[in-house]
Amino acid sequence: MTTLMDTVDQPSLGARVKQRISSDERVMRVCMGIIALFLLVAVVLPLYSMMAKSMEDRDGAFVGLANFAEYFSTPSLFFSGINSLAISLLVTFIVIVTAFIYAYALTRTCMPFKWFFRLIAIVPLLTPSLLSGVSLVYWFGNQGIAKDMLFGETIYGPIGIIIGSTYWVFPHALMIVITALSITDARLYEAAAALRTSAIRTFFKVTLPGCKYGLISAGFVVFILVFTDFGVPKVIGGNFNMLATDIYKQVIGQQNFQMGAVVSVVLLVPAVIAFTVDRLVQRKQVALLSARAVPLEPKPDRRRDMMMFCFCSFVALLIILMIGMAQYAALIKFWPYNLEFTLANYNFDVANGGGWDAYHNSIKMASFTAFFGTIIVFFGAYLLEKGRGFAIGRGVFHGIAMLPLAVPGMVLGLSYIFFFNNPDNPFNFIYGTMTILVVSTIAHFYTVSHLTAVTALKQMDDEFESVAASLKTPFYKTFFKVTVPVCLPASLDIMIYLFLNAMTTVSAVVFIYSSDTQLASVAVLNMDDQGELPFAAAMAMMIAYTCATARLLHLLITRKLLRRTQAWRHR
Amino acid sequence: MNEPAESKKPYLKIRALTKNFGEFVALKDISLDIFESEFVCFLGPSGCGKTTLLRAIAGLDIQTAGSIEQEGRDISGLPPSERDFGIVFQSYALFPNLTVTRNVAFGLENRRMSRDKVSSRVTELLSLVGLPDQGDKYPAQLSGGQQQRVALARALATSPGLLLLDEPLSALDAKVRAHLRLEIKDLQRRLAVTTIMVTHDQEEALTMADRIVVMDHGVIEQVGTPRDIYNRPSSAFAAEFIGTMNFLEATVSASGEVSLGDHRFRCDTSDFEVGSKITLSIRPEDIVVDEGEGNQQNTVMADVRYIEFLGSFCRLGLDSAVFADSDVRADLSIHMMRDRDIDAGTRISVCFPENLIRIFALR
Amino acid sequence: MTRKNIIPQSVSTLFGAALLTFGMASYAATELTVYTAIEADDLKRYAEEFNKVNPDIEVKWVRDSTGIVTAKLLAEKENPQADIVWGLAATSLMLLKSEGMTEGYTPVGADKLDKKFVDSDSPMHWTGMDAWVAAICVNTIEAEKNNLPMPTSWKDLLKPEYKGHIVMPNPNSSGTGFLDVSSWLQLFGEDEGWKFMDGLHENIAWYTHSGSKPCRQAGAGEAPIGVSFAYRGAKVKAKGAPVEIIIPSEGAGWDMEATAIIKGTKNLDAAKKLADFAVSKQANTMYNTVYAVVAYPGVAQPVEFYPENIGDKMINNDFEFSANNRDRILKEWQRRYDSKSEPKS
């Protein structure tokens, strides 16, 4: 080396340099701490109390795994587990196959009326999962108009659960598969064509491997959703026991909280395993899409397009029949003896379940959840993605943010009773209020919102923050001037996601609503429980219309905002 | 400016800088001085640590050990916002939702400057980078070259004492790159701002830098002016990375003489003992084609295996028993080619001039 | 589990202040939180009647189905939210009493009630309101369609022609279901009782989670026969459903709706006033508009759509037996019948 070093006095090696934390950084860490605390209180600690509960006897004394031993020695409970597993696997298979063909038709063919099929596939997202159960009773129940199609089999049981579950999880799977199929490089297909590869071979060697991870991911999502869902089996399950309904039976029917906690833990295990495996698989996925990828433009193929059109029409028809029947039933005076039309079933105030107040509460709850949830989720994701240093803290934060996806709503709801209704808990005051519903709903749907925000933030140049620091601009200025406007579409997506889910969810809130805060979705459940099926159908349809309106508003607002504030996106 | 006086106080003083990523050592005991108004290039292959060093100077990725002083102030542990620098990234990192004007004004807006002052400063900067009329456009409406100029204007807006350029030209087309290279260098000279640029492109480094810092595997291989490094590379790595170099395995057979098999070449062997295995190196353009039969000193008879036409000159691939398996190339001017009527398969006599051969320890 | 250590007080206050911006209900001094399982459409009337006597006390209803209200009360044991329970199954209240959650108070005028309807302890921990009698709802149209004769007794239900036409509540999730099971065990004795249920199980189409659902489903024709309770049957019939309500000849199990003050209430005086009102003649007359059998002797008038002389068919229900053997009975039931997919042992 040259002359430069000669005069240098060598500082002692190995003395670690400690970065001085800037005031910006300090503020960010405090903010992250607050959001981490929120997640701690909203997710981790309640789950902990639930785990603790599962190891207590009725008097609260610690009994180790005795409750679990009892659980596994009760054959009917054990069979519930087997049932849950079998149903979930079967539904996963059916939904993935259907969703794949449907998504393939939407992304890779020149089928007509694609916009319509896209629209109709979203419909199940706008309704509570219970709606399919209610509708199925009218179709295939003992007084159902299509009862004979079951050839004497009863709809109350596995058949009903499978059809009902398939209906409501379909759009969840479809969205993931569409994304997976959209990400492809046309050049791969050109290469395959140039090599004279047959269409079938191309399908198996190019198409399927290309969306392999998407399919796996969709599979896990569907599995977890069905495995932990409680609405459909509750309404249409008959005597067919599943884990999710067992929790309800243990807690509501027998007031056996300890056993409820035990089943919750049992329910948690496969969900967490499925979730973990999915994460590991996703990690292996390498970016298929290089910057130079050419988007695939499907070419018309009459025969294939027609076949796909027929298939999609069939699926769409099923969805329409499902929701259509619910609407029809809601307008009928007294099924099946008096088929006159009436609006009496919308007079919710004479039915159990909280009346119109419940509906208004739902809208209030969903709005709060969407508003506060989006702020918390987005800001949390921002701090996680764009903050610097503090690696362990951020890793832990990310881990906690991923946790809710693996926690079934019922488990979360139950654990809220244990945690928040403890008089020693400083947060005890939110028990029985709207706040606890909002907190639980945000927590319940945290992960997907978080991932949406993270994805949007990842698409932003990592160097924005470095540039801003070099220009000595405090982080919040960059956040409000750049990050928020650029991520506005993603934020609106999170908002509508939270709103729709808050409107339709039952599982977590069923344990923690109070008389002041009855909810429409819970009302549907209770109305069905009481056998007030027409009211249940009417209320479910009110939810559906509200969600559809919200979705439409979201679309309009997004469009308008994009045009006005996102002019920079256009060249 | 090219040869900093030893007495001059360094603007940036880096001492014993080490950076570990877990087990991986990204920077190993780096010490370096950079002087006021200097344009320094960190040059090396990807993974050599040049960007890590830049980010340590900026405070974006703090070093594991070692110190950095800027203008006599110890900034070793300071966060980026408390250091004095402007930075330009390969990705431009322009705020996509802000106009060009607001991008440039970004750093000025929270400095309690009046609106008029900000606006006149932005106008000044935009004309400085040659974009006087583009203020109202959004980044996406500009070409890559224009975007990078905006990024430059933004970095310079707050008049930082140090300008850091992280591969600023890598994302651009060859033509734009060559053009912008000159402009940046010119701007830097006019503003006399101390500048560090990271690049893996030797041409960029050679044309723009006052001094080049050649890096490999986390250590500095050589520091010097472009001419220095090209003509007197201190290691085989530096020799190969900058410009093109022929390498031949040889042994020091006597003082001032090395042998390749039976063939002997005269050259300077002062750093090596007789009998040591070495690498003989010579640049393709230093190889001379002569009239002889290969029996003069430092001359070899070789067959032309192929000819690469490169416009202003031709590159010849040469085969000879002396070279064994080594790939030896010689650059010949078009004139020479025409005069000597050289074609693939032609047998020619080539000479390695004694003063242009350099030898390194065997790699 | 002391959480105070985990969460620093200061942060929690900050967090709490943020949360306070929406949600919390404000408390007036004379506001009484009343937990109940009374049907939604009766609530308003009950509160109005009460306010005629006590205009200064505002009733804040917390209504849900019996199971949920009971679960809620138990879950809130450490920190009760309710001041008083008005209209919940007496068996649930006995459970609360055994958990030490009820306040001992003998309401003024409770001595006038039928002894069957009040707690035998002194002071009383609960007082009954009205009886809630098991019954069979039969859909006449569907019965005709399927050629089903009208059952008149429990044992009739064992006939093979009813196979797959009967629904009943699952005792593990419904109070009515448990009431049925417990009454059969009392009526027929343990061995006979289980044998009866073995036979009945063969004919059951499905078990429901709620006690009123079988009758509603019978009303809607989902199932021709629903084992439910008379009150629900009357309500369904009033709606125009083609159902016949049958009180089985062997006698019917029953439970009652009852009132109990929750221990630790901050509004004890107001709660006592409500407890007093709940046993009054006026209140019992009010109960009688929908319930045929009430606690106050001599008040009851026949109620439309109810089967006649329902009071005579009520078995001499041993609530002690039910409460003490509940866990055992439920476990046994679960072992025998829960999950039809599994072979019976």
- Check residue C13 and give its pLDDT: 42
pLDDT at C190 over 60: yes
- Check residue C280 and give its pLDDT: 95
> Is the CB of B139 less than 8 angstroms away from the CB of A568?
yes
End-to-end CA distance of chain C: 42
Assess contact for C79 and A423: CB atoms under 8 A.
Answer: yes
**Given CB atoms, is A198 within the 8 Å cutoff of chain C?**
no
CATH architecture of structural domain C29-131+255-307? 3-Layer(aba) Sandwich (3.40)
Which residue matches tokens 């107001």? Answer: C270
> Is the CB of A248 less than 8 angstroms away from the CB of C173?
yes
User: Nearest CA of chain C to the CA of A169: how many Å?
Assistant: 25
Assess contact for A465 and A479: CB atoms under 8 A.
Answer: no
Confidence of residue A489 (pLDDT cuts 50, 70, 90): confident
Return the percentage of chain B with pLDDT > 70, whole number.
97
Check if C29-131+255-307 and C133-254+314-340 are the same fold: yes
* Measured CA distances, C175 to A248, C291, C320, C323 (Å): 14, 18, 15, 12
Partner-chain residue, chosen from B29, B98, B160, that has the shortest CB–CB distance to A482: B98
Q: What is the dihedral of CA A366, A370, A376, A382, to 10 degrees?
A: 160
- Check residue C22 and give its pLDDT: 39
CB count in 10 Å sphere of residue B253: 15
Partner-chain residue, chosen from A79, A253, A337, that has the shortest CB–CB distance to C172: A253
pLDDT tens-place string over residues A240-279? 888 888 888 788 777 788 888 898 888 888 878 888 887 7
pLDDT at C10 over 60: no
Amino acid at A282: Q
Point out which residues pair with B162 in neighbouring strands: B194
Q: Between chain A and chain B, how many beta carbons pairs sit less than 8 Å apart?
A: 137
State residue B198 phi and psi, 5-degree precision.
-95, 130
- Check residue C215 and give its pLDDT: 92
Chains B and C touch (3+ CB pairs under 8 A): no
- Check residue A274 and give its pLDDT: 82
**What is the 3-class SS of B117-135, one letter each residue?**
HHHHHHHHHHHHCCCCCCC
Taking the C-alpha atoms of residue A268 and residue A407, their distance in angstroms, rounded to an integer, is 6
Taking the C-alpha atoms of residue A151 and residue A160, their distance in angstroms, rounded to an integer, is 14
Instruction: State the pairing for strand pair B194-199/B162-166.
Output: parallel
pLDDT tens-place string over residues C198-221? 999 999 988 888 888 899 899 988
In A373-462, at which residue ranges do the beta strands (DSSP E only) sit?
A: none
pLDDT tens-place string over residues A134-165? 999 999 988 888 888 888 888 888 999 999 99
In B, minimum Cα distance to A562 occurs at B97
Q: Find the mean pLDDT for residues C163-191.
A: 91
**Given CB atoms, is A20 within the 8 Å cutoff of chain B?**
yes
Point out which residues pair with B258 in neighbouring strands: B252, B265
pLDDT at B310 over 50: yes
Kindly give, in sequence order, each residue whose CB lies less than 8 Å from that of residue C343, ignoring residues fewer than 6 positions away: none
Mutate to test the interface with A, among B19, B33, B57, B95 (most CBs of A within 10 A): B95
- Would you say how long chain C is, in residues? 345
State residue C255 phi and psi, 5-degree precision.
-135, 175
What distance separates the 2 farthest-apart alpha carbons in chain C? 72
Return the percentage of chain A with pLDDT > 70, whole number.
94
Which residue matches tokens 């986390």? Answer: B218
- Check residue C339 and give its pLDDT: 58
Sign for the pseudo-dihedral over CA of B169, B172, B175, B176: negative
Taking the C-alpha atoms of residue C76 and residue A420, their distance in angstroms, rounded to an integer, is 10
Q: Between chain A and chain C, how many beta carbons pairs sit less than 8 Å apart?
A: 191
pLDDT at C8 over 80: no
pLDDT tens-place string over residues C235-267? 889 888 899 999 999 999 999 999 999 999 999
pLDDT at A347 over 80: yes
State residue B193 phi and psi, 5-degree precision.
-90, 135
Q: What is the DSSP string of C220-233?
A: TTSSSEEEEEHHHH
Sign for the pseudo-dihedral over CA of A471, A476, A481, A482: positive
User: Nearest CA of chain A to the CA of B113: how many Å?
Assistant: 14
Is CATH 2.60.40.10 the classification given to domain A74-337? no
Encoded tokens for A316: 């769409």
3-state secondary structure of A244: helix
Residues 126-165 on A with a CB inside 8 Å of C are 137, 141-143, 154, 156-157
pLDDT tens-place string over residues B68-79? 999 999 999 898
Which residue matches tokens 């709503």? Answer: A409
Question: Which of chain C's residues have a Cβ under 8 Å away from the Cβ of A238?
Answer: 206-207
Partner-chain residue, chosen from B59, B64, B93, that has the shortest CB–CB distance to A464: B93
Mutate to test the interface with C, among A49, A248, A435 (most CBs of C within 10 A): A435
CATH number of this structure's domain C133-254+314-340: 3.40.190.10
Taking the C-alpha atoms of residue A509 and residue A517, their distance in angstroms, rounded to an integer, is 10
Taking the C-alpha atoms of residue A378 and residue A492, their distance in angstroms, rounded to an integer, is 11
Of 3.30.60.50, 3.40.50.2300, 1.10.560.10, 1.10.3720.10, the CATH number of A22-49+348-571 is: 1.10.3720.10
Question: Which of chain B's residues have a Cβ under 8 Å away from the Cβ of A5?
Answer: 31
Neighbours of chain B (3+ CB pairs under 8 A): A
- Check residue A567 and give its pLDDT: 64
Assess contact for C89 and C175: CB atoms under 8 A.
Answer: yes
> Is the CB of B64 less than 8 angstroms away from the CB of A571?
no
Confidence of residue B312 (pLDDT cuts 50, 70, 90): confident
Confidence of residue A106 (pLDDT cuts 50, 70, 90): very high
User: Nearest CA of chain C to the CA of A36: how many Å?
Assistant: 12
**Given CB atoms, is A22 within the 8 Å cutoff of chain B?**
yes
- Check residue A184 and give its pLDDT: 74
Confidence of residue A514 (pLDDT cuts 50, 70, 90): confident
Return the percentage of chain C with pLDDT > 70, whole number.
90
User: Average pLDDT over chain A, rounded to whole?
Assistant: 86
Q: Find the mean pLDDT for residues A373-389.
A: 89
- Specify the higher pLDDT residue, C7 or C196: C196
Nearest residue to A479 (alpha-carbon basis) of A454, A457, A497, A496: A457
Question: Which of chain C's residues have a Cβ under 8 Å away from the Cβ of A417?
Answer: 75
- Check residue A314 and give its pLDDT: 96
pLDDT at C340 over 60: no
Mutate to test the interface with A, among C61, C173, C235 (most CBs of A within 10 A): C173
Nearest residue to B327 (alpha-carbon basis) of B264, B240, B227: B240
CA A250, chain centre distance (Å): 25
Q: Find the mean pLDDT for residues B56-61.
A: 92
> Of the ranges A58-62, A176-180, A423-427, B146-150, which is most confident?
B146-150
3-state secondary structure of C168: strand
Taking the C-alpha atoms of residue C76 and residue C69, their distance in angstroms, rounded to an integer, is 10
**Given CB atoms, is A61 within the 8 Å cutoff of chain B?**
no
Residues 233-292 on C with a CB inside 8 Å of A are 239-242
User: Average pLDDT over chain C, rounded to whole?
Assistant: 85
Assess contact for B208 and B181: CB atoms under 8 A.
Answer: yes
What distance separates the 2 farthest-apart alpha carbons in chain A? 103
pLDDT tens-place string over residues C22-53? 333 333 457 899 999 888 778 889 999 999 99
User: Nearest CA of chain C to the CA of A185: how many Å?
Assistant: 48
Among left, alpha and beta (phi > 0; psi -120 to 50; other), residue A451 is alpha
Partner-chain residue, chosen from B15, B81, B98, that has the shortest CB–CB distance to A11: B15
Taking the C-alpha atoms of residue B206 and residue B221, their distance in angstroms, rounded to an integer, is 16
User: Nearest CA of chain C to the CA of A302: how many Å?
Assistant: 46
**Given CB atoms, is A427 within the 8 Å cutoff of chain C?**
yes
Nearest residue to C328 (alpha-carbon basis) of C170, C182, C176, C197: C182
> Is the CB of B81 less than 8 angstroms away from the CB of A469?
yes
State residue C202 phi and psi, 5-degree precision.
-60, -30
pTM of the prediction?
Answer: 0.84
Mutate to test the interface with C, among A254, A506, A517 (most CBs of C within 10 A): A254
Q: Find the mean pLDDT for residues A405-429.
A: 87
Question: Which of chain A's residues have a Cβ under 8 Å away from the Cβ of B82?
Answer: 20, 22
Q: Find the mean pLDDT for residues A78-106.
A: 93
| Among the ranges given (A109-113, A353-357, A364-368), the one the predictor scored with the smallest mean pLDDT | A353-357
Assess contact for A240 and A81: CB atoms under 8 A.
Answer: no
> Is the CB of A3 less than 8 angstroms away from the CB of B6?
yes
Residue ranges of alpha helices (H) inside B219-358 are: 226-231, 236-241, 334-340
Confidence of residue B1 (pLDDT cuts 50, 70, 90): very low
- Check residue B6 and give its pLDDT: 52
Mutate to test the interface with A, among B81, B213, B215 (most CBs of A within 10 A): B81
State residue A134 phi and psi, 5-degree precision.
-60, -45
pLDDT tens-place string over residues C119-151? 989 899 999 999 989 999 999 999 999 999 999
**Given CB atoms, is A489 within the 8 Å cutoff of chain B?**
no
Q: Find the mean pLDDT for residues C256-281.
A: 94
Encoded tokens for A456: 């949007």
Instruction: State the pairing for strand pair B299-309/B313-319.
Output: antiparallel
Question: Which of chain A's residues have a Cβ under 8 Å away from the Cβ of C239?
Answer: 334
Mutate to test the interface with A, among B106, B164, B214, B221 (most CBs of A within 10 A): B106
pLDDT at C189 over 80: yes
> Is the CB of A471 less than 8 angstroms away from the CB of B58?
no
Which residue matches tokens 């794949």? Answer: A100
Encoded tokens for B104: 């440039």
CB count in 10 Å sphere of residue C161: 11
CB count in 10 Å sphere of residue A471: 25
Exposed e or buried b per residue across B71-100, where buried means at least 16 C-beta atoms within 10 angstroms of its C-beta: eeeebbbbbbbebbbbbbbbbbbbbbbbbb
pLDDT tens-place string over residues A161-210? 999 999 999 999 998 898 888 877 778 888 888 888 888 888 888 888 88
Half-sphere exposure of C139 (CA within 13 A, CB side): 28
pLDDT at C66 over 70: yes
Peptide bond into A336 cis (omega under 30): yes
CATH 1.10.3720.10 range(s) for chain A read 22-49+348-571, 74-337
Indicate the domain borders of chain C.
Answer: 29-131+255-307, 133-254+314-340
Taking the C-alpha atoms of residue A33 and residue B5, their distance in angstroms, rounded to an integer, is 52
- Specify the higher pLDDT residue, A289 or C175: C175
